[in-house]
Chain A
Amino acid sequence: MISIKNIKLGLAILTLLIFGLKTNAQTFVGKSIKINIFSSTPVEDIKAASTLGSAVISTQKQEIAVQVPIKSLEFDKKLMQEHFNENYMESDKFPSAKFKGTIEPVLDWTKDGEYNVTAKGTLTVHGVDQPRTINGKLSIKNGAVNFNSTFNVACAAHQIKIPSLVFTKIAEVIQIKIQGTLNPLTK
């Protein structure tokens, strides 16, 4: 009987803990995340940008998930944009690029502050998953989360083929810049 009482006591504590955590757990969402891509070769520099990325951060396990519709990336030359979607990214088949991972180290999400963080997880581009650890900066201010990161994506790692005829115009490694603001989710 004593053991059951102990278990009950333990459960009560566990319940408190879970509910305690639940109330502490926050979810942040961002609807207009900025993404810039940059390809540089001695022949040509190509840039494209989107403001239609979306992101979710759940503080409970410090999960972060970011995605961008490939077709939302705008190029100066519309024909180049069509080729990018049609020939390289195959956007009809793979409409979005996505990253999902966990943020390290453990942060206090209730306090204002600026942190250098890493996100460990999976980057999905062109339907190909790659395990990645991405460095970035994260700041918490007045209850909103701001983040930015610059990282590289190798075309070959995601099976994006560049024909030899345009090899000089498109870089093998594309630089990605991402930044955005996430606000607490109001339930």
Chain B
Amino acid sequence: MKKSKLFIYLFLLFAFIAMKASAQQVDSLLNSLDNAKKFNKVEATFKSPHIVLSHSTETQKKHDLDLRIRHHFGDIGGEFGSAHTLYGLDVATDLFIGLDYGVSDNLTIGFGRSKHDELYDLYVKQKVFPQKNDGGRPFNLTLLAQIGLVARKPFATTEFSNYSNRISYFIQPIISRKISSRISAQIMPALLVRSVTGDVNDPENLFTLGIAGRIKLTKRLSFVADYTMVNGLSRPNDLTLKYYNPLGIGLEIETGGHIFSLNFMNAEYIIENNFISNTQKSWGKGGVRFGFTISRNFSLFKSKNPDTKSTIY
């Protein structure tokens, strides 16, 4: 009698386990088929290939052509600012027009022209590897190489006695990490090689170290900043001309498709080959200015797949 009861209970238990197992089977099967693990690249460490002054680790998307117009105004305060220049808005210390093109998702080439020194620049930017969110790689690595050509007439007859004196080179490995969906940080050492300096004690090769970051204040509003240490590293602090380290801060407002940036910086110039070596304004002495970027993205060579075709009316 007792044995039979035990047998019944055992049987019911096994039957219950068997039923439960079959119910769980659907979930575990679905989990084993899940393709989500393939998408382990961390995306959008920064919203744009540029932070304020410096490049970020981001590159253009494949076949995206970005037309970029940048503007740095004059000093807000100090000797050259105040109401007489409408806080710098009367002045353009630098203007830039450029095109960036994504050859692939990882390789961007860019070409541009600045008002200052009539500088033409050409750059190649290669994403070496992205950060992975499955614990694989903790950071993004991107390499930037930029060449600049000064096209203006020489100030002194000897200035560009050799044509190669017009050329400068900028090489920068960029390392960044998306720490959380709100916070990203970046560090970028760099080397600027130039031929003409304003001071005999000013070295031709400048080693710099930059730091940058982003804090998302809301889903669509971010605070961004970048700072480049130039002076006091490979360049002595006691030059006849006083140079300052470039610091840019900005607010990025996203309007779904376009990013609107309000930037403030002490650097007068826009391209690294100019602003790293020639920033002579200081945040402390009213030498801060307003800057903006207008960028328009064109997607070229769209896929002919009707399932992904978007139409703007």
Contacts and interface: CB of A to CB of B under 8 A. Distances in A.
Interface of A: 4, 7-8, 11, 14-15, 18, 25, 27, 29, 31, 36, 42-49, 52-56, 58, 60-61, 63, 65, 67, 69, 71-72, 74-80, 82-83, 85-87, 90-93, 95-96, 98, 100, 161, 163, 165-166, 169-170, 185
B181 A61 contact: no
Contacts of B219: 87, 161
B220 A163 contact: yes
Interface string B58-101: 00011010000000000000000000000000000000000000
B257 interface: yes
Contacts of A98: 30
Given A25-B22, A65-B26, A80 B257 contact: yes
B22 A60 contact: yes
Given A27-B26, A29-B33, A76-B303, 14 more contacts: A7-B4, A18-B15, A44-B310, A49-B307, A52-B38, A56-B29, A69-B35, A72-B39, A76-B308, A76-B310, A77-B299, A78-B61, A96-B34, A166-B257
Contacts of B157: none
Given A65-B26, A80-B257, A163-B256, A72 B35 contact: yes
- Centre residue among A43, A55, A80 by max chain B CB count within 10 A: A80
Interface string B246-257: 000000001111
14 contacts: A29-B29, A36-B307, A63-B26, A69-B34, A71-B39, A74-B308, A75-B310, A76-B310, A78-B61, A79-B61, A80-B257, A82-B61, A87-B220, A92-B133
B1 interface: yes
Contacts of A54: 30, 33-35
A166 B255 contact: yes
B43 A82 contact: yes
Nearest to B27: A65
Contacts of B15: 14, 18
* Secondary structure type dominating chain B contacts: loop
A67 B30 CA distance: 8
A83 B61 CA distance: 12
* Secondary structure type dominating chain A contacts: mixed
B30 A56 contact: yes
A58 B25 CA distance: 9
A49 B256 contact: no
B200 interface: no
A47 B302 CA distance: 13
Interface of B: 1, 4, 8, 11, 15, 18, 22-23, 25-27, 29-30, 33-36, 38-39, 42-44, 61-62, 64, 105, 133, 181, 219-220, 254-257, 297, 299, 302-303, 305-313
- Centre residue among A52, A77, A185 by max chain B CB count within 10 A: A77
Contacts, number: 146
Contact of B181 (A18, A55, A79, A92): A92
A95 B256 contact: no
Contacts of A85: 43-44
A79 B257 contact: yes
A53 to B, nearest CB: 8
B26 A44 contact: no
Ranked nearest first, the 5 interchain pairs of A and B with the lowest CB-CB distance are A78-B61, A166-B256, A54-B33, A49-B307, A71-B39
B255 A165 contact: yes
Contact of A4 (B4, B30, B35, B305): B4
B299 A76 contact: yes
Contacts of B297: 79
A87 to B, nearest CB: 6
A95 B307 contact: no
Given A79-B297, A87-B256, A47 B61 contact: no
Contacts of B308: 47-49, 74-76
A139 B307 CA distance: 24
Nearest to A185: B29
